[in-house]
Structure 1
Amino acid sequence: MQDYIFEIELKVRDYECDIQGVVNNAIYQSYLEHARHEYLISRGFSFAELTQQGILLMVSRIEMDFKRSLTSRDVFAVRLRTERQGVKLIFYQDIYRVPDNALCLKAKVEAIAKINDKLSRGEIFDTLLA
């Protein structure tokens, strides 16, 4: 079992599925992004407020391993944990179908930060995770 620090439950909407009746692979990135945003909100931060302060958080790399497909009206949970690696904050995010807890996707998302247009050494991530 992973040491997840955040979880959000969502439901597949019909328009997110392709002609084969499964969630389009590009949609999974939206699910992951939404979970990261909600995680930051749960920590008392928002992307809008950070941007107003000249702090830009950006994805620099993403890896996704598809395990099982989600289909229309499936309920699923996006679970995440974080790890600081130098200038990067790594989000390990997994998507599980509810209620059978079937693993559908494993992702590793690397994020960097620019503060006032300069690449940060990652110290902002210490603040966000404190």
Structure 2
Amino acid sequence: MQNYIFEIQLKVRDYECDIQGIVNNAVYQNYLEHARHEYLHSKNISFKQLTADGIVLMVSRIEMDFKRSLTSGDTFAVKLRIERQGAKLIFFEDIFNVSDGALYLKAKVDVIAKINDKLSRGEIFDTLNL
């Protein structure tokens, strides 16, 4: 059992599906990014304000393991947990179909930070209390 610290539910929209009637693989990255931004928001951290303050959080690597395909109208949950690994903050994000509880996607997203245009050692992640 994973120790998820955040969850958001979303619904697949028709325009996110390809000609096969399944969610296009690139759309899953949008779902994952939305969950990360909402997680920051839940911690009262403004992505926009961080950027204005010269703190830029960036994805440096993403791995996605597709297990099943979401289709139009599916309601799903993105659940995440985080780990600090050196200069990186690692988001482990899993997508589950709400109706059957099945795992549809496992992702690992490495996030780094630049502060005033210089790569940080990750200390910003500690000060954000994530």
Task: Return 5+ residue gaps in structure 2 as ranges.
Answer: none
Q: Give the deviation of 1:47 after TM superposition.
A: 1.1
Tell me, yes or no, if structure 1 residue 115 matches structure 2 residue 109: no
Q: Give the deviation of 1:128 after TM superposition.
A: 2.1
What letter matches 2:23 in structure 1?
A: V
What letter matches 2:11 in structure 1?
A: K
What letter matches 1:127 in structure 2?
A: T
| Alignment partner, residue 82 of structure 1 | 82
| Alignment partner, residue 104 of structure 1 | 104
1:96-118 residue CA offsets vs partner (Å, 9 max, x unmatched): 00121110000000000000001
| Alignment partner, residue 67 of structure 1 | 67
The RMSD of aligned alpha carbons is 0.7
CA–CA separation in structure 2 for the residues paired with 1:50 and 1:103: 33
Following TM superposition, where does structure 1 have runs of at least 4 consecutive aligned residues deviating by more than 3 angstroms? Answer: none
CA–CA separation in structure 2 for the residues paired with 1:31 and 1:107: 11
What letter matches 2:126 in structure 1?
A: D
Q: Across the two proteins, how many residue pairs are aligned to each other? A: 130
| Alignment partner, residue 124 of structure 2 | 124
TM-score normalised by structure 2 residue count: 0.98
TM-score normalised by structure 1 residue count: 0.98
1:57-87 residue CA offsets vs partner (Å, 9 max, x unmatched): 0000000000000000000000000000000
Task: Return 5+ residue gaps in structure 1 as ranges.
Answer: none
Tell me, yes or no, if structure 1 residue 95 matches structure 2 residue 104: no
Q: Give the deviation of 1:46 after TM superposition.
A: 1.5
CA–CA separation in structure 2 for the residues paired with 1:129 and 1:68: 34
Q: Give the deviation of 1:90 after TM superposition.
A: 0.1
| Alignment partner, residue 31 of structure 2 | 31
CA–CA separation in structure 2 for the residues paired with 1:110 and 1:90: 5
CA–CA separation in structure 2 for the residues paired with 1:128 and 1:73: 36
